[in-house]
Amino acid sequence: MSTSRHWMARGFSALFALALLYPFTALLARIGPWQWGAEVRGPALASVRVSLLLTGFAMVIIVAVGTPVAAYIARCSTRERLWWQAILLVPILLPPLALGILLTLAFGPYGSLGAILEHLDLRLTNSAAAFIVTQIYVGMGYYVLGAVAAFDAVPTILQKQAALLGLPPAKVFLRVTLPLSRLGLAVALSIAWVRAIGEFGAVVVTAYYPSGMPVQLWVNLQSFGLPAVMPLLVVFLAVALPLPWLVHVLAQRNRHA
Amino acid sequence: MLKAHIIKNRRDLEVNVTLELEPGTAVGLFGASGAGKSTVLACIAGIEQPDDGFVQLNGLQLFPPSLPLHRRALGYMTQEPGLFPHLSVSENIYFGIAKALAATARQQQWIATLRDRLQLDPLWHAPAALISGGQARRVALARMLARKPPLVLLDEPFAGLDRQLVRELIDDLIFWSRQIGFSMIAVDHQAEVLKRLCPQQAIVLEQGKIVQRGTWTELYNAPATPLLGSLLAPL
């Protein structure tokens, strides 16, 4: 790319970034002094803990279950793959509130599975387990669809060459497919993380307690108004952004290798 | 010994080819583009599934049923070197060797011999993604030979290389075929390349069928079809 074109592209990208970040100038809006007293700080920090721990746990399950599923779908025939993709789209297509209602009905004490779980002393409404299950439903489709695209991008001939060099399928996956798709997998994981940690509509129905950050933002808005929302918003950005960003940093290392 | 009868229905033609290859011998599959040469190799390698027929290598049934690729123990090189871009040159070469095997002195010595003969020393620790096309073919050759395969399948592995490099690689392949004793089937649309690599015998394919088998002299003196005559004629 010539220098002038490069600078034009950079200028355009800078404008794009400014437009994307423009809403965040509202953090400077005159709404009075921000409220960060004990009555706000305690629940806010508890919500940070809930969001990070439980969303992190949900991500572990999403990666552990979603990666082999994505690897399978990537090898399916076109027709079978289309069915899988439709299934994966269903939970992420629904309005989050609707998903939350369905999850509560299905896993709550009045659903058939929920009743069995209740007998086993496992409550899937307003509990940490309910929070995790909701995050999984919210993020799984994003991760698996992204992971399938990442696996698709690995040239088939390299996998076949590895097999001809004597590696069984599991080793081909670990030594060729996985390393070559790491950037795409990182993007898929970060999208699932961002989507899940910011989820409000579904979580507010299934797990009002324990409150994660989005629900706590809502509580703060209702109870104290905007001055109690802004500090939690800053905390939210500070704790939610580094992890997906770090995943990108790690995946970009030796990108051209 | 390789015995194969490949039947493969492609969209544009039906490939129907019978092959027998004694251990340590080499045969050149020659023909115009689209004659089905690469399909035959891919079916023997297991990259593609034949629709019917059989493939046996030294008594081992490769098809049917289709033996998984990792149990086939054969070398396959195409014009795309297929190096693993996330690994270094040395990691690529050691890729197909089990860790326990790689640790033996004999195996180390074998890799060192390949490294010297193929002049890989300066590249040894380089990322495979950052070497030239010619260097990549050398590395792919070393990687394939590291496992000492009994059969080597070459699908135009010299395409796009300069004549000097092609000559060197052909000499290397002939040298290693004598050292290791592997059989070789090579595909190319340049008769002079195949004639140098597989001087004893050639098989000519047209429209998925064998139209002539014999020595290169027989092919040049009495081409079975006008198309073959035209392909062998000087420019």
Domain with residue A200: its CATH number is 1.10.3720.10
Half-sphere exposure at residue A122, Cβ-oriented, CA atoms within 13 angstroms: 11
Q: Which residues pair with B31 in a beta bridge?
A: B205
d(C-alpha B59, C-alpha B53), whole Å: 16
d(C-alpha B172, C-alpha B213), whole Å: 26
Is B189's pLDDT higher than 90? Answer: no
d(C-alpha B46, C-alpha B42), whole Å: 6
DSSP structure class, residue B47: S
Looking at this protein, which amino acid is placed at residue B30? Answer: F
Structurally, chain A folds into a number of domains equal to 1
Q: Is residue A107 within 8 Å of residue A117, measured between CB atoms?
A: yes
A-chain residues near B69 (CB < 8 A): 160, 163-164
Structurally, chain B folds into a number of domains equal to 2
Note the helical H segments in chain A.
Answer: 3-21, 38-75, 78-93, 96-107, 112-119, 128-152, 156-164, 169-172, 178-180, 182-197, 203-206, 213-224, 226-240, 242-252
Helix (H, G, I), strand (E, B) or coil at B119: coil
d(C-alpha B86, C-alpha B89), whole Å: 10
Residue in B with minimal Cα distance to A181: B86
Residues 6+ apart with CB under 8 A from A63: A143, A189
Task: Name the domain boundary from B148, B166, B192.
Answer: B148
A166 touches chain B (CB under 8 A): yes
Q: Are B235 and B156 members of one domain?
A: yes
Q: Are B107 and B171 members of one domain?
A: no
Place of tokens 């992890």: A243
Nearest to B117 by CA among B176, B158, B166, B198: B176
Domain with residue B70: its CATH number is 3.40.50.300
pLDDT tens digit string along B20-43? 999 989 999 999 999 999 999 999
Q: Please, what are the averages of pLDDT over each run of 10 residues along chain A (257 residues)?
A: 86 96 91 90 95 96 97 93 95 94 90 84 90 96 97 94 94 95 92 94 93 95 93 92 85 61
Q: Are B190 and B122 members of one domain?
A: no
Residue B191 phi, psi (nearest 5): -60, -40
Region B199-208: mean pLDDT is 94
Q: Are B63 and B13 members of one domain?
A: yes
A-chain residues near B96 (CB < 8 A): 165-167
- Please report whether residue A166 resides in a domain: yes
Is B210's pLDDT higher than 80? Answer: yes
d(C-alpha A226, C-alpha A246), whole Å: 31
Q: What pLDDT, on the 0 to 100 scale, is given for residue A257? A: 45
Give CA torsion, residues B115, B118, B124, B127, to 10 deg.
-140
Residues 6+ apart with CB under 8 A from B77: B137, B140, B141, B144, B152, B153, B154, B155, B157
Task: Name the domain boundary from B120, B148, B176.
Answer: B148
Boundaries of domain holding A142: 34-252
- Please report whether residue A181 resides in a domain: yes
Distance from CA of A177 to the nearest CA of B (A): 10
Q: Are B143 and B157 members of one domain?
A: no
Nearest to A228 by CA among A66, A93, A17, A34: A34
Positive or negative, the CA dihedral A16, A18, A19, A21 is positive
Cis peptide before A155 (omega within 30 of 0): no
- Please report whether residue A16 resides in a domain: no
Long-range contacts of residues A178-184, Cβ cutoff 8 Å, at least 24 apart: A179/B86, A180/A153, A180/A154, A180/B84, A180/B85, A180/B86, A181/A147, A181/A150, A181/A151, A181/A153, A181/A154, A182/A251, A183/A150, A183/A251, A183/A252, A183/A255, A184/A146, A184/A147, A184/A149, A184/A150, A184/A151, A184/A153
Q: Are B35 and B140 members of one domain?
A: no
Task: Name the domain boundary from B148, B166, B185.
Answer: B148
Q: What pLDDT, on the 0 to 100 scale, is given for residue A118? A: 83
Q: Is residue A71 within 8 Å of residue A159, measured between CB atoms?
A: no
Q: Is residue A50 within 8 Å of residue A196, measured between CB atoms?
A: no
Q: What pLDDT, on the 0 to 100 scale, is given for residue A255? A: 56
B-chain residues near A167 (CB < 8 A): 70, 95-96
Nearest to B96 by CA among B58, B69, B65: B69
Residues 6+ apart with CB under 8 A from A215: A47, A200, A203, A204, A207, A208
Cis peptide before B85 (omega within 30 of 0): no
Q: Are B159 and B66 members of one domain?
A: yes
Boundaries of domain holding B138: 82-148
pLDDT tens digit string along B117-174? 888 999 999 999 999 998 999 999 999 999 999 999 999 988 888 889 899 999 989 9
Q: Does B143 contact A165 at a Cβ distance shorter than 8 Å?
A: yes
Q: Does B86 contact A158 at a Cβ distance shorter than 8 Å?
A: no
Helix (H, G, I), strand (E, B) or coil at A35: coil
Query: Which tokens sit at A136?
Result: 């999984």
A255 touches chain B (CB under 8 A): no
A-chain residues near B72 (CB < 8 A): 164
DSSP structure class, residue B103: T
Place of tokens 């289709």: B66
Q: Indicate the residue of B82, B96, B130 with minimum beta-carbon distance to A157.
A: B82
Nearest to A237 by CA among A29, A67, A48: A48
Q: Are B197 and B99 members of one domain?
A: no
Residues 6+ apart with CB under 8 A from A191: A142, A143, A146, A244
- Give whole-number Cα distances, B192 to A218, B63, B66, in Å: 77, 32, 34
A242 touches chain B (CB under 8 A): no
Q: Are B158 and B134 members of one domain?
A: no
d(C-alpha A201, C-alpha A194), whole Å: 14
Number of H helices, E strands in chain B: 9, 10
Q: Are B61 and B161 members of one domain?
A: yes
Q: Are B162 and B70 members of one domain?
A: yes
pLDDT tens digit string along B54-92? 999 998 999 999 999 999 989 999 989 999 999 999 999
A165 touches chain B (CB under 8 A): yes
Q: Are B131 and B173 members of one domain?
A: no
